[in-house]
Structure 1
């Protein structure tokens, strides 16, 4: 399995963003790390090995991107307004720089996005904000309400990065092309979040798969089982 490390300079973030890319060719999937995770987390925690055969077969090419959580949602030293604004710069980096780069490199019109836990939020938030760029969304044990990170601050920038707020008002037809899976489990601390998001999608007529697995905790062993299954079944 080919592994490539490179730095992508972002004009929106004014910094290099580290990435690990797995596979020589295949359909691109952008993978977000969990809370405060780095670009090498998916490798270190075995998530890449769980889909090794699918990567080696040339079906998928995985782009593991770095987060800026320490400068945005988890930046408790910053005023909440600036936490959100920093995340908006990250979103601009993704939307205007990285995703177009991936689309061009892989010769596709839309990409897949995936993530576990807080990475599931990142994947869902990006996909729901930019359905024109995403064909597949895989959220594993994600949570979708960001208000606990803003210490009571609320404005349009929070609203448009809080899927439980903006998705009820979206037009369902915009997501008709997208294959969506919300993965969770009976013992998952994010079970209720996934049930709520599934209800929102259903109310808007947005087709999706809510996969609730039994007797599994919010942790890597669950996601190791989910990820290869979802790649094979929804993509």
Structure 2
């Protein structure tokens, strides 16, 4: 069943009674899985002008956005819980993406096309993390103003495997051998960040983006780093411009 562009569809979270929403914008073209900013909803991408910023691509059938709800309020943003528990809760969100969202996108398109992920702020982490851990389905992860070290998000308590495998700064550093070779062949990352308001404090997006780009460089994982100027803030008007600047060459 194909749904009308802009219509919210609820998909059940595996193993739970709750559901999370997906909204599609576009009728054809390269599928782009869109993550909202921290604790955001599927509606945020369009409501903050991001679809309008690339409306020509949507109208021309070059791109279909699939915008999803976050589960951050229950996982990464639940600061009362230690980092490891938040990382374990994040695994529930990953299962929803894998078992509900990816099949839904494939059903909508009628085929399996190489996907792009996009996210802003905390959504940039989700986009890049999902791309690097699902390179069989995602060929490019685009992070706009992201922080890629989850232990810097009001982290506390002992951490273990759940945190390690949810933290790009850690698991990319540990990649080696055949797995690293496979990632080099199938994954790519585009990191965009500004030098303006809120990109340094409190988000740490600017230093984290630079540090993560250096790590990708050391591991020879295909990537681009695009640092905008001191007027470029951690805010939607700049993310609109950055998306419009970069997305056309991939769709």
TM-score, length basis structure 1: 0.93
**Runs of 4+ with >6 A deviation:** none
- Does structure 2 conserve the Cα–Cα contact (< 8 Å) formed by 1:28 and 1:111? yes
TM-align CA RMSD: 1.8
Please point out which of 73, 81, 88 is paired with 1:85: 88
Q: 1:105 Cα shift?
A: 2.6
1:197 aligns with 2:212: yes
Report the Cα distance in structure 2 between the residues aligned to 1:144 and 1:179, rounded to whole angstroms: 15
Structure 2: state its 5+ residue gaps. Answer: none
Q: 1:208 Cα shift?
A: 1.1
Q: Which residue of 2 aligns with 1:210?
A: 225
- Does structure 2 conserve the Cα–Cα contact (< 8 Å) formed by 1:22 and 1:61? yes
Q: Which residue of 2 aligns with 1:31?
A: 34
- Does structure 1 conserve the Cα–Cα contact (< 8 Å) formed by 2:124 and 2:142? yes
1:16 aligns with 2:32: no
Q: 1:103 Cα shift?
A: 2.7
Report the Cα distance in structure 2 between the residues aligned to 1:230 and 1:114, rounded to whole angstroms: 11
Q: 1:37 Cα shift?
A: 0.9
Q: 1:217 Cα shift?
A: 1.2
Structure 1: state its 5+ residue gaps. Answer: none
Q: Against the structure 1 CA distance between its residues 205 and 194, is the aligned structure 2 distance closer, same or farther, given a 3 Å change threshold?
A: same
- Does structure 1 conserve the Cα–Cα contact (< 8 Å) formed by 2:148 and 2:208? yes
Q: Against the structure 1 CA distance between its residues 204 and 80, is the aligned structure 2 distance closer, same or farther, given a 3 Å change threshold?
A: closer
Name the count of aligned residue pairs. 235
**Which one has the bigger strand percentage?**
1
Q: Against the structure 1 CA distance between its residues 68 and 13, is the aligned structure 2 distance closer, same or farther, given a 3 Å change threshold?
A: farther
